Amino acid sequence: MKKLINDPATVIHDALSGLAAAHPELRVDLDNRLVFRAEPARQGKVALLSGGGSGHEPLHSGFVGRGMLDVACAGEVFTSPVPDQILAATAAADTGAGVLHVVKNYTGDVMNFEMAAELAAAETGTEVVSVIVDDDVAVRDSTYTAGRRGVGGTVLVEKIAGAAAEQGRALADVAAVARAVNERTRSMGMALTSCTVPAAGKPTFELGAGEMEIGIGIHGEPGRHRAPLAPAKEVAAMLVEPILADRPVGKGGPVICFVNGMGGTPLLELYIVYGEVARILAAHGIEIVRSLVGPYITSLEMAGCSVTLTEVDDELLTLWDAPVRTPALRWGA
């Protein structure tokens, strides 16, 4: 195993310490593994909280800041944060308007966030609403979850719901926006290599030199099937066509197209894939109105990519365009 780490046992602590040193606009609680905005949100603003296993950076800690999350909880690599972490984050983030939990649909995440929400209501009276992200079309059920997995769509949900919260909307309205984004979003991913969890010290699965895995999850779990290595245009079709078959996007509005890198794929290749995805969508008469290309929800050093399509109306597009200022995503004033 070759990794730029000190010790597998201190990976999360060391990474969060580095994040704090690099970004003074964030406040990091190393004991509870929480990342906050250094400048607290105004009183009466709905707080957005998300989190999950580490190893997917910049998700979630890199999306803490104005226009997105108020706090992120970091679990061990590919392991959900525990309820006590989430409870501490919820209590600290609440400014009196309630807290929205954005939860990827994995069994551990759902269970621990549910428990924390119940504890918050009982112990502090904090109103918590949870929105489950389940955009992956590759599988209906897996070892990690009942139903679809939450993958690239999480970035879209956090950004658009974060903008709604920044506008001062009520908790029910912010949750409705988050649910609308999730319902309009579908994703599909693939891998050229596995990843290596530091504590394990070996790849999660093996791929031959001429093989690729289609339909992978973000924890290194295998996908729908293994296929011979193919050109980017064929890979793009393998990712886009199942999305369009699952939800015929583009019938009621244009789309945001997000081509995500899994951690080990250079931007050169991601832009090649994006070009092929755009060509396929144009052939289907689907208009891309915004794009996002880059490694925003990763699986350690896995080589591969995913495609996420979100159908948007004027309201959701305006919220996507609203200013955002986080370590990993920033535009506008």
Q: DSSP string of 162-185?
A: HHHHHTT--HHHHHHHHHHHHHTE
Distance CA 229, CA 76 (A): 32
Among the listed residues 23, 56, 60, 101, the single catalytic one is 56
Q: Which residues contact 88 (CB under 8 A, 6 or more apart)?
A: 29, 32, 34
Catalytic residue flag (residue 225): no
Distance CA 123, CA 151 (A): 32
d(C-alpha 130, C-alpha 113), whole Å: 8
My answer on whether omega of the bond before 60 falls inside 30° of 0, hence cis, is yes
Phi-psi region of 248 (alpha: psi -120 to 50; beta: other; left: phi over 0): beta
List the alpha helices (DSSP H) in 96-166. 107-123, 153-166
Q: Sheet with 211-214: list strands edge to edge.
A: 225-228, 211-214, 185-191, 304-311, 255-261, 288-294
- Report yes or no: 143 and 221 within 8 Å, Cβ to Cβ: yes
| Residue from 23, 60, 101, 219 carrying the catalytic annotation | 219
Which residue, 312, 307, 261, 262, is CA-closest to 281?
307
Alpha carbon 232 to chain centroid distance? 24
Active site residues: 56, 219
